[in-house]
Amino acid sequence: MEVIQIGSIAILLKWLLLAAAALIGVIAVWIWLKLLNGAKESKQIVDLILNSLFVGFFVWKGSLLLLEPGLVWKQPLSLLYFTGGKDGLIIAIVSAVLYFFVKASKQRIESQLKIQIVIFYSSIAVGIYHLLYALFLQEDILFHTLIGLAALVESTFNKVQARKLFSFVILFSFFYLILSLLLLHSMNKILLFTSDQWLFFFLILLSLYFSNKKV
């Protein structure tokens, strides 16, 4: 795994690619909102997304307390130099999404628009990240390329109704699970599956639940 040295801090290249994808996702949402009729609250929404990303980042850093309490106890400064890794990232993503929905509800952003924003942003960020991963890290190229392209295709359906959006999320999640089971061979598994596979199982169940509700 490639590492980038910034001063005394070593950062895995994949995390820098993730940060780049996250920022590109914000820009994509901003452009989409500008083009969307009646989206006068575009700055407000973009600010909310950025705040959600900051919340996710600090949760990701702080997740080390939950995942590696022994390390933090022995070396408190490890919170400055390390993150919770992939498992901590999943906790951070869930926290950021929850924060976004709670704050968006308080700002009286329509449910349909909230769902569109989250799915559109996630599709762009995930798509860009996987394509950058395939390009720069040259690992599991077929998997990351297919997932990246599928996510970007999913982002083009952001104008449909929320129920149909959940259908696309379900299809993408199944696609991810099938490809990851066929093409990836991770040893870090929890009850037969990796943490990101469990996340997509959860997304399928969540999407099935909300697709049957009026939003």
Residue 38's pLDDT is what? 58
Report the C-alpha gap between 32 and 117 in whole angstroms: 9
Report the C-alpha gap between 182 and 121 in whole angstroms: 27
Over range 34-39, report the average pLDDT. 71
- What Rg do the C-alpha atoms of the chain give, in angstroms? 18
Over range 151-162, report the average pLDDT. 86
pLDDT > 90 fraction of the chain, expressed in percent and rounded: 60
Report the C-alpha gap between 150 and 123 in whole angstroms: 9
Inter-residue contact 21 to 125 (CB < 8 Å): yes
For residue 56, count other CB atoms closer than 10 A to its CB.
22
Report the C-alpha gap between 106 and 68 in whole angstroms: 34
188-215 burial, b if ≥16 CB within 10 A, otherwise e?
A: eeeeebbbbbbbbeebbeebeebbeeee
Grade residue 187 by pLDDT with cuts at 50, 70 and 90: low
H, E, C per residue of 108-144? CCCHHHHHHHHHHHHHHHHHHHHHHHHHHCCCCHHHH
- Long-range contact list for 4-8, CB < 8 A, 24+ apart? none
Token pair belonging to 147? 């997932």
Residue 166's pLDDT is what? 92
How is residue 190 annotated by DSSP? B
Residue 73's pLDDT is what? 83
Looking at residue 141, its amino acid is I
Q: Write phi, then psi, for 190 (nearest 5 degrees).
A: -120, 110
What separation, in Å, do the N-terminal and C-terminal C-alpha atoms of the chain show? 43
Grade residue 159 by pLDDT with cuts at 50, 70 and 90: confident
Name the pTM for this structure. 0.92
Is the pLDDT at 68 greater than 90? The verdict is no
What integer best gives the mean pLDDT of the chain? 89
Inter-residue contact 48 to 107 (CB < 8 Å): yes
